[in-house]
Structure 1
């Protein structure tokens, strides 16, 4: 994928950036997001708490990856995390970078790291601010390790790999592996 296509892909998948630029409420995008609109029409009051600590903890450079079987709510959990982070007064929505990888090659993912950082550099005008990277639709652990771990070693990242191992996402047991950290900034 060419750089301009990746920029467009990121812009479309991070609607909170546009809300920020247009001066809208930081969560205005949630009313227009097709996944969250669909969720609202079938809402039964359940919300997976798998990423609640990320939403409330002090912000630091993080790379969030949830892995598990299809159609269990991983993407919804990430979008709900983005919404919760947008509601925080200490977070600029451009610090949240959602990267759906279903249409990206390994080479594209590596380029995303650089392009997304440059697309959101305006939040660093008063000093470097951390990013929360939400990589979605990554289907192979080896692909993640080869694609991001080498890059993270160059730039530093705090990664959180989520593995279900047959445990319901909302149970609080087995939902995530231990955080992995590399020195430096991502």
Structure 2
């Protein structure tokens, strides 16, 4: 086959059409259906870009609120919280005399389809340290996450931030979930 100078570097019509079709497919067309129940191991990262100054509630006790920007990846490569972003609000109580921390809050994660999953989390009183362990529960969702419930164990660790004035952390969420679908008959 001989190509003229005008054909060199010009993509074939097949490549142009095929690329256009792939780019035009909605992300949901490529995503797998979320099973109605399952177990998971999720790795997450968080950044609190503007930590609030704690409020004193006693000579050795403070309370601080936080807003963290989250990213989550499911170790299975798909499923619950895979490639999802989120936002978490929390409130921590620190007792400097006892060297303890207690932390409670909520998260809202969203996927590429705009479906949300809502989480409530609690870190009971524990030693003030760079690592912590808490529990949580899925308290609802929208779209494919409507009717979700389940328990989770959360492990977290603060990491050194390269930017002064922010807080960064990583962790893992493990557990199981169930999605109950209500039918028109109320079942």
Normalised to the residue count of structure 1, the TM-score between the two structures is 0.25
Q: Which has the higher contact order (CA 8 A, sep 6+)?
A: 1
TM norm structure 2: 0.25
Select the structure of larger CA radius of gyration.
2
